[in-house]
Structure formats: C-alpha cells, structure tokens
Chain A
Amino acid sequence: MIEIDGITKRYDGTAVVDNVTMTIAPRTVTVIVGTSGSGKTTLLRMINRLVEPSAGAIRLDGDDNRSMPGYELRRRIGYAIQGHGLFPHRTVAQNIATVPVLLGWDKGRIDAKVRELLALFQLDPAIFAARFPHELSGGQQQRVGVARALAAEPKVLLMDEPFGALDPIIRAKAQADLLDIQRLLKTTIVLVTHDMDEAFHLADKIAVMDKGELVQYGTPAELVTNPATEFVQTLIGASERPFRLLSIETAGQAVEPGTADGQPVDAATSQRDVLSELLWTGRDALPVAAADGTLIGKVTLEGLARRAARPQ
C-alpha cells in the first residue's frame, strides 16, 4: 500500500504538486493522468524520491519512504521510463541484472532471474541475453526496460509514460503484456500517461492531476459517470463517454443467456471491441466463448447500448 499524505513540491515558491493525498491499494494498477505541467511526473518521482517533497509524507506499507537512504529505497522500487533508458554499453542481461547486482545477489540467482524475465517478456535468452540495446527493436528495448525494473522483485513498479515512444500496434501489445505480468506477479503499478485510452485500458483507479492538484481519484467508471470538474470531463471527452464505459468491462460481464450465430468472441474482449465487431458485421448479437472455448452465452447490441447509457 502506498499512502500519499499531503505531499507538496514547490520550485521557487510555485507549487508543482499541491497538497496531494491519496492511497494506492496493493496489487492494483493506478494511472495518473493530466496535461503536461500538471505535476503528474513530479508526483510519481516523489514516491521513489528522485524528487524530494517540500512538505507532506509518503508511506510504503506504513514506513515513511525517508526512513532509508534514497538509493536504497530506489533499489526496492521498480522504475521504467519513456525511451527505456537502457545502458548502451551493457548487454541485455547486464541491463536486467542492474539492481540485483547493486543488491549483491549471488551470480546463480542473478542468472536465473535474468533468464526467467527474458522468457516472461518473450525474448529468447539464448538470442537476446548477450545482445546490446542498439541491436534491439523499439518494442524489444521497451520490454527489456520493464524487465530491468522488475528484476529485484519489487512490490511497487513506477512507470513514467513507458509506452510513449512506441508505435500504436506495439503499444497495444505492450499494454496487454503489462496487464498479464501484473496479474502474474501481483505488483502494485503506478503509471503516468497523458493517453486517456491507455489509462482506461490499464487502470483499476485513475488519478487526474490539474495544475498540481489532484482533482479526482476514482475508478474509470466513476470518472465517466461522475466527473468532479469540467477539466475531468474535457479530458475524458464528452463524445467518448459511452465508449469509455464499454472499454472498462469485458464481454464476459455483459453476457446474456441464449445463443447467436457467427464466430464467438472471447470473454476477455472489451465490450467496446465487441460493439465495434457487431456494428461492423451488421449483426445484433454474437456468441461469447470462455477462455477454454465453451460457449457461455451471447452479447447483444441492445444489451451493450443499455450499458453504454448514462447510469440513472
């Protein structure tokens, strides 16, 4: 659990982050959104003390994050950034081993961890371990960057626009992989982005920052149905609201009894994608299959329309 308590950062008297208080539940994905200059990156960097706050405190599992030297704190917290920041003079394996080496793990344990993470990120250790970062594609570099951040098995992973430099196709894949890995490792993730689609795709809870203040902190559905300020509404986009609601939940959560014709959609597909499929194929219902392939019912156009409407 991360407790952010009245945290403030001032530069030359101007508050960049102004008295922000929020609690991040363990094993969840929290996305901090806002325009540039809203203080979202500064807030993130105060968690691992790359920026020291002017006032307030941050507690990790109850312990003040100033109870140990900054570098020791940062070895316990994963950190992945835009443009990956891989060390160009070190191999992929050496890059991933950065924090374990700093922590003084023995060689066998480090090697095993590097292999495990490479495999987890779909990079064959035999091929990639000895390569240098400039020999990788952008997507591969980004995956190595996240693998490096996770190498010392941190409970908390901070990500600063980690997918910002990727093209849209690789970005969608990277987001899906991140969710899979988060479910597997149960890491608490705090991610900063200005991409609202990314926020709605990844977040359990979204924190909206505006001019240094936390204007709303809630589930994606709360933000859509009950925006705290004009700014939140603008950020979400009035015309996007029904689609944002649908993008939060999966087809499995909208399933109705009965059957329909056509190729079944996977239960994990977002309702937004199912709606798109229905509209494109001109149908009014599609069958839904569970992960093991068994049919569990159908999703209808009418049902989705009800779910996309403003809650009464």
Chain B
Amino acid sequence: MRAWLPSLLRAALLAILLAFLVSPGWFEPLLKPLVQDNAPAIYNQGSLLTLTLLHLRTVAIATIAAIIVAVTLAILVTRPFGAEFLPLSRSLVNVGQTFPPVAVLALAVPALGFGEKPTLVALFLYGLLPIFENTLTGLTTLPPSVMEAARGAGMTDRQRLFRVELPLAMPVILAGVRLSVVISLATATIGSTVAAKTLGEVIIAGLQSNNIAFVLQGGLIVGALAVLIYDGLSAIEAVLARRAGL
C-alpha cells in the first residue's frame, strides 16, 4: 500500500492542477470565502493557463541557457588546460548566486527594458551555481580505475568525455538541474514586478487589491508545478543512476 501512495498523490495533484488551469470556475466556491463581498475569487485579468505556460517557458529558457553555460564551464575547468581557471569560474558563479535576483532585475531593466528579458537574466544567473557545482562534483569524483581503463583502452580525450565521463556524471548533473529548476520556478514570480508575464502577475494583483484568493491561487499553482517537476526529474535521475550502475 505504501509503494503506490506517493504516485497516487502525485497523479491527484496533477489532475487538480490541470482542472484548475483549464476550468478555474469550478473552484470558485472554495475560494469565495477568502474574498470580500463582490471581489472576484478567480483571477480575471487573463488566462491562468496562458500565464502558467509563459511562466514555464521563462523558466525553461533560463534553465537551458544555465545548463549550457554551467556544464560547458565545468567541463573546461576540469580539463588539464583549464584547471587554472577553476577558482576564477567558481567565484564568478558564486557571485551569480549571491546577487539577489531583485537587484539583478533593477540593474537589468535600464539596459534591457521591461518584460521577460531582465527576468531571464536574473533566473539564468541564479540557476548557474547548482548546475556548475554538481557538474564539477560529477566530473571530479569518477572512479579512478574506470578512468584508467578508458585511457588504457585508447580513447582520446574527447571520447573519454562523451562516452565515459558525462554519462557517469549525468545523475549528479541532473540533480543540480533539478535544484536550479525549482529555485527558478519560485523566483520567476518576481519577474512580474518588471512586467514579465509569469504567475507572479496573479500574486501581485492580489497584493495590490488585497485579494487573498489571488495570492493563494498564484502561490499554489507555482508550488504544485515545483513539486511535480521536482518529482519528475528525480524519477529520471533514478533511472539514469540505475543504468549507470551507481
């Protein structure tokens, strides 16, 4: 009974989330008690489904860019010729993580204007660190005997990287991606302060009109997305790890 319970809960969560996005009107009675007399209980300034898809798109673009840059950087600094750049790239990526996304938005708006672009920059910088650190860990903790065998078999540097190192490091890299995605899902909401189309719009609208129902539905949708995506990526990781014999 224990084994199928989590899957059942996830399936139920997904079903409720989809139902809410496609037909939010069904849930109006639930949210009605939270609002004052004639205020709307369901966000009415745009489609929740569209906002969710735009939110996911923003996170996806920022994460893919972060993966490309962070993984490339980690590969370069773990090669013999790039080893001396390791401390430098570490500090750069750390700065990206410690710089508050709100401050990035404030700095990026004058250069890039309002909308999605400054949000993408903030999410990209914020997402680099977990992916970079995990890729670094994955590539530097490979079993020495396996690396020795790969060299002894006559693989070139490139063949070792693509046939042995990256496949074996993949579960650890993916764990970093998962962390980065979840952080970005939550952080993306503040993009709406600079007019990016994300679920933050719903939350901000709720704050402005003192509508708790708006704040709640915006927050819950982001939360549900984070839980489902986190679990989905964990499952892929487990499959990869099993295949890698780890």
Contact = CB atoms under 8 A, between A and B. Distances in A.
Interface of A: 48, 50, 71-76, 79, 81-89, 98-99, 102, 132-134, 145, 148, 158
A133 B246 CA distance: 11
A86 B148 CA distance: 10
A85 B146 CA distance: 4
A98 B160 CA distance: 11
Contacts of B106: none
B153 A74 contact: yes
Contact of A87 (B150, B152, B246): B150
Given A50-B151, A75-B154, 5 more contacts: A85-B148, A86-B146, A87-B146, A87-B150, A89-B244
B245 A89 contact: yes
Given A79-B149, A82-B145, A89 B155 contact: no
A83 B144 CA distance: 10
Contacts, number: 67
B155 A87 contact: no
Nearest to A132: B245
Contacts of A73: 154
Contacts of B151: 50, 74
Contact of A88 (B153, B156, B244): B244
B57 interface: no
A148 B146 CA distance: 13
Nearest to B245: A88
B79 interface: no
A151 to B, nearest CB: 9
16 contacts: A50-B148, A71-B155, A74-B153, A74-B154, A83-B145, A84-B145, A85-B143, A85-B150, A87-B149, A88-B244, A89-B168, A89-B243, A102-B154, A132-B243, A132-B245, A148-B153
Nearest to A82: B145
Interface in B60-96: none
B164 interface: yes
B167 interface: yes
Interface string B159-175: 10000100110000000
A78 to B, nearest CB: 9
Interface of B: 143, 145-146, 148-156, 159, 164, 167-168, 243-246
Given A102-B159, A132-B245, A85 B145 contact: yes
B243 A81 contact: no
Contacts of B149: 79, 81, 84-87, 145, 148
Nearest to B244: A89
Contacts of A145: 149
A42 to B, nearest CB: 13
Sort A-B residue pairs by CB-CB distance and give the 6 closest, nearest first.
A85-B149, A75-B154, A88-B245, A79-B152, A74-B154, A85-B145
A133 B245 contact: yes
A227 B189 CA distance: 80
Contacts of B153: 74-75, 79, 98-99, 102, 148
Nearest to A73: B154
B152 A50 contact: yes
Contacts of B159: 102
A76 B155 CA distance: 12
A44 B167 CA distance: 29
